[in-house]
A and B are shown apart, each in its own frame.
Chain A
């Protein structure tokens, strides 16, 4: 079951295990410059609001209501990252416009390896964009659907779905119990109908960022693929958010330049025990918002000047590791 608790999506699988729970928030952030430099991870500036789509069904296009899920407001050219919180291992497929953000392939049922088309948490705390090569992503940037910028439009040549889709599978209870035993061993040893096109947004590739998407450390048979939690997140242009919901959308995030000039930190995530996926050739060929807008002779990215990041905070993965036993 999927519930909306405040601005958090909570996926639960009580039939599998009482601990099988994943919390997802969508974080407002800086849009990193799209200049082909590789930037560290930008900060979280608070969660985007989420609303049940059924609460506004009278004012929404029929197609939106049919797919269910939640609504989320984003400004044009605004960036976002996804935060995952889970103690119990879950496999998550992330798609934008039903194009897989890890592989660039159409969203399919089930979990696949070769190439791996999902991420695993705990272990993968965040996803900031499309996995274009090993250790590099292109940031998620909201653009109006129908203008050709979204990954969906560039890969599938349609502007049909937009938004963001999450499909979650839990680890089987037996595999979790084994993991708990392993963790315990380690612990002991170590310590109104509107015009759809105007409001519907898709996610397009922005600037390049250093972020690894990690290889699944479990066996394929450890995952319970018969238990699935799904949610369609419809992204609404903030221009139309007040008329749809009667609420004021979040303010525009600061620019990367202003943030950096203020001396505030950027981030790096370091997990020496994990192996990074190599990235998608399909997604590597997708053109960034800046490249595409320049070829169209238009400017859609305000404030895109390069930034010299001076202050970076390194965050270490807090996964349990075996305590090395030396010579005694």
Chain B
């Protein structure tokens, strides 16, 4: 049973402009260290415990000495650090299972869509995301 209320974080570090695997470790370390300044439970040891990995392994990941962990672990880490799971997965060079399934169902359509949006500015991409229509009330 998911019993915890989501923790709200006041600040988040600037997201890197380009996703790359070595950046993943530095980014999560920066996030965790920032949280640790106000919350001692964000120490390497305690975070590692909560996401079910060894502290030594998390330390290696943060230093970029080993490849990023599995999708499930990245998701637990994202929740722990108050970051968007898709952002961390992208930094880890992974495409989440649900997105892979979306693409597999209509591969040509989604490949075309993503390529056509590659150079589009953010506000143009947002127009493709379906808005919730507001009506009369």
- A residues engaging B (CB < 8 A)? 1-5, 9, 12, 14, 18, 41, 43-46, 52-54, 65-70, 83, 85, 87, 98, 122, 125-126, 161, 165, 183, 187, 190-191, 230-232, 254, 262, 264-265, 267, 315, 318-320
Contacts and interface: CB of A to CB of B under 8 A. Distances in A.
Interface residues on B, range: 20 to 34
B6 to A, nearest CB: 6
B38 interface: yes
Contacts of A45: 1-3
A231 B2 contact: no
Nearest to A124: B8
Interface string B1-23: 11111111111100000000000
Contacts of A67: 135-137
Nearest to A83: B6
Interface stretch (B46-54, B66-74, B112-120, B121-129): B121-129
Nearest to B3: A43
Contact of B10 (A44, A68, A122): A122
Of listed B37, B122, B129, residue having the most chain A CB within 10 A: B129
A166 to B, nearest CB: 11
A83 B34 CA distance: 23
15 contacts: A1-B131, A3-B130, A12-B126, A43-B3, A44-B4, A54-B133, A66-B136, A66-B137, A68-B134, A87-B12, A125-B5, A125-B8, A161-B137, A165-B137, A232-B137
Contact of B8 (A18, A52, A85): A85
A46 B4 CA distance: 10
Contact of B4 (A43, A125, A231, A319): A43
B-side interface mostly: loop
Contacts of B6: 44, 83, 85, 125
Interface of B: 1-12, 34, 37-39, 122-123, 126, 129-137
Contacts of A1: 126, 131
Contacts of A187: 11
Given A1-B126, A18-B122, A87-B11, A230 B4 contact: no
Given A1-B131, A122-B10, A265-B3, 4 more contacts: A46-B2, A125-B6, A165-B137, A318-B8
B50 to A, nearest CB: 14
A3 B132 contact: yes
B102 to A, nearest CB: 12
